[in-house]
Amino acid sequence: MFNITNKNIVITGGSSGIGRQIAIDCCKMGAKVLIVGRDTNRLSDTKNTILSSGGYICTIEADLTSSESIELVTEQAISEFGHVDGIVHAAGISTTLPFRSISQSKFDNFIYTNVFSAIFLTKNLLKKGNFDDNGGSIIFFTSVMAHLGESGKTIYGLTKGALLAASKSLAIEYAPRKIRFNCISPGVVQTPMVMKQDYAQSEENLSKIRALHPMGIGKPEDISPAVIFLLSDSSSWITGTELVIDGGYSAR
């Protein structure tokens, strides 16, 4: 039912964690995928995994915190595909940092990595001729932390809240072009990024995190099907909304 065959999808953060799983599943579903990442080895590992099962994938190593890199990614996407049908912004960084420890450099790093990259890559890819004339789907990865609070999550949560807010106005602005904007807001998902966090360094702390999720900590495979749905034409009347996928974290 959820058909994404031959859709051209750009996935940021596509070489690791949730983004990697989305890339693998999109290719399995017949989409053509360009993944953007910062680590050459992880990019080629993901590429080889997908190629071994016959998928269509290309990669580009880029740090999306610079305008120049965003230009390069846009150029590669268009030269590879001709036009883009969907973007998944899965790239991002996380931290648990007390408010008193937030410096301007940390603030800037989070804003550029989590917000600037998604907004300006989207802006570039939306230029006339880059996106399919029949519309498309853009997905921002936000977080339950865009709605709810936890100590030390100010800097992370504010970047996710910014994307969530942006998606609403973008949904309205681009509805005439049938380009849809939606957000996926996961709870804690077991990814390399999460497992590097301080709270994942002891079984005691991980147990506390698990206890906050009635259905346990998520896996990348728990998130990917929702992305496929939002990329497909089955969700063609869904825009400006958010799918919270958190194993019940926010149901309390």
**Residue 103 near other proteins by CB under 8 A:** yes
Instruction: Tell me how far apart the alpha carbons of residues 174 and 156 are, in angstroms, rounded to a whole number.
Output: 27
Can residue 198 be called a binding residue for other proteins (CB under 8 A)? yes
Identity of residue 49: T
227 binds other proteins (CB under 8 A): no
Stretch of 24-32, 60-68, 102-110, 222-230 lying at the interface with other proteins (CB under 8 A): 102-110
Query: Is 247:213 a contact under the CB 8 Å cutoff?
Result: yes
With CA atoms as reference, report the closest residue to 135 among 88, 83, 183: 83
Residue 13: left if φ>0, alpha if ψ -120 to 50, beta else—which one? left
The active-site residue, picked from 56, 156, 174, 249, is 156
CB of 69 to other proteins, least distance (A): 25
Least separation in angstroms between residue 95's CB and other proteins is 8
Residue 37: beta bridge partners? Answer: 61
Residue 108 found at the interface with other proteins (CB under 8 A): no
Cβ atoms within 10 Å, residue 11: 28
Q: Is 156 a catalytic residue?
A: yes
Q: Which of 101, 134, 169, 236 binds other proteins (CB under 8 A)?
A: 101
Is residue 100 involved in binding other proteins (CB under 8 A)?
yes
Q: How far apart are CA 50 and CA 43, in angstroms?
A: 11
Residues near other proteins (CB under 8 A): 96-98, 100-101, 103, 105-106, 151-152, 198, 201-202
